[in-house]
Amino acid sequence: MFNLLWLQSAGCGGCTMSLLNAEGPDLITIFDSAGINLLWHPSLSEETGTEMRQILDRILTGEIRLDVLCVEGSMLRGPNGSGMFHVMGGTQKPMIHWVRELSEKAAYTVAIGSCAAYGGISAAGSNHTDATGLQYEGEIYGGLLGSEYRSGAKEKVVNISGCPVHPNWVTDTLVQLALGEFSEDSVDALGRPRMYADQLVHHGCNRNEYYEYKASAEQPGDRGCMMENMGCLGTQAHADCNVRPWNGTGSCTKGGYACINCTAPEFEEPRHTFTETPKIAGIPVGLPTDMPKAWFVALASLSKAATPERLRENATSERLIYPPTIHKRKR
């Protein structure tokens, strides 16, 4: 069996809530089929109090093998490095101490969500709690465990980032680990599993035709592309949200919400509102990935000049006004 321990630190618990929506198959079926044994999870396990403490102690003494330590939520180092802002209930011991000790026993350590990976929402603003990620502090390599940390399998922390994570990003990664199919090439430069991070949210977006012609939404509810005016970062965000739908059918952009690039470090502090696209001389500051500014300006001008009236009108409407033209075959 592949033993998994899941701890929750500072956060909203949204990644666990998302994980419970795993489907086709469901979470428990996935674990059973991959031979994953859930030692403990704060929402899914029956053990509480003394029973849970005994599991942790048996791991630390080596009586129970720990194959993967999953940590959800950011690490609170405050005040003054003591970690006392977050003490694990019933232990009188800060969560950061438990994570440090258990990570030394784990074959793999996995950060679940952007809070655990990079600090996330908990690290935003003045960060009075001194929140950080497991091996990153925002974009800076280090975090709680430090840049030199390697797990028992000689691997860095695996950062399944997202706010929240897609359930299948977690289950696919855990199955990969359990089957011995993981390697350092399985993650990108920020430690994110490449099976989702090698995609862009832009891929598969149902607004791509509007993007191609730069037919842009101007206010919430409009059908057009949200990159130019509404703050959408889908052309820069590394995730497969529109290729691998959420809850079977959905995504942020499909629901009319701009992508905020929640899989990236420091997404929580864009220095402007999430629904605003900052511009210089009318050109969006955040250009699509791999797109030189001169090319974008030239292509945008050509695209706008060629925009069909159908798309121009539909882009600033809440409902479809003009359907595509029906072309009849010549006889």
pLDDT digits (tens, 9 = 90+) for 11-26: 999 999 999 999 889 9
pLDDT confidence band for 211 (50 / 70 / 90)? very high
Q: CA–CA distance from 287 to each of 109, 190, 235 (Å)?
A: 34, 20, 8
Q: Tell me if 58 is assigned to some domain.
A: yes
CA dihedral 304, 309, 314, 320 (to 10 degrees): -150
**With 90 as the cut, is the pLDDT of residue 68 above it?**
yes
pLDDT attached to residue 248: 81
Q: Which of 36-45, 130-139, 207-216, 302-311 has the lowest mean pLDDT?
A: 302-311
Task: Tell me, yes or no, whether 191 and 210 share the same domain.
Answer: no
Local confidence band at 294 (pLDDT 50, 70, 90 cut-offs): confident
pLDDT surpassing 80 at residue 331: no
Q: Distances from the Cα of 321 to the Cαs of 209, 212, 254, 315, in angstroms? A: 15, 19, 18, 9
Say yes or no: 170 and 255 in one domain.
no
| Res 177 pLDDT > 90 | yes
In a shared domain, residues 66 and 162: yes
pLDDT of residue 72: 98
Q: What is the pTM of this model?
A: 0.92
- The Cα 205–Cα 225 span in angstroms is 10
> Does residue 301 form part of some domain?
yes
Q: Are residues 176 and 213 in the same domain?
A: no
Domain that holds residue 290: 200-322
Q: Give per-residue pLDDT as tens, 107-145.
A: 999 999 999 999 999 999 999 999 999 999 999 999 999
Q: What is the pLDDT of residue 292?
A: 81
Predicted pLDDT at 295: 75
Same domain, 127 and 236: no
Residue 41 belongs to domain with CATH number? 3.40.50.700
Same domain, 78 and 108: yes
| 33 and 72 part of one domain | yes
Residue 143 lies in a domain: yes
pLDDT at 238 over 80: yes
Residues 156/146, Cβ–Cβ less than 8 Å: no
Please say which residue of 167, 197, 227 terminates a domain: 197
- pLDDT attached to residue 272: 87
How high is the mean pLDDT of the chain?
94
Cα separation of 96 and 298, whole Å?
A: 51
Considering 160, 175, 197, which residue would you say is the last residue of a domain? 197
SS3 250: strand
Domain annotation covers residue 242: yes
Confidence of residue 288 (pLDDT cuts 50, 70, 90): confident
The number of domains in the chain is 2
Residues 190 and 207 in one domain: no
| Residue at 183 is within a domain | yes
* Statement: residue 293 has pLDDT above 80: no
Same domain, 43 and 173: yes
State whether 85 and 32 are in the same domain. Answer: yes
Say if residue 192 is in the same domain as residue 283.
no
Residues 258 and 169 in one domain: no
